[in-house]
Amino acid sequence: MSNVLKGAVAFSFVALVSACGGNKASDEEYVVVDPAPISVEPTFTGKYK
């Protein structure tokens, strides 16, 4: 095999290993935040109260 072909095969192998084999995906933690309570709409108590 020529040196160019060996280089291309080696580069392809390294690219394949780096793209697929080295990824250890960690579990991401999801934090759920409760929204602030919605205030109650004021009720009508009279004309000028």
Model confidence over 1-49: pLDDT tens digits?
Answer: 788 999 999 999 988 888 776 556 566 788 888 887 788 777 777 776 5
Is the CA virtual torsion 13, 14, 18, 21 positive or negative?
A: positive
For residue 25, the model assigns a pLDDT of 58
Look up the pTM and report it: 0.41
For residue 17, the model assigns a pLDDT of 82
Q: Secondary structure of the chain: what % helix, strand, coil (to 5)? A: 40, 0, 60
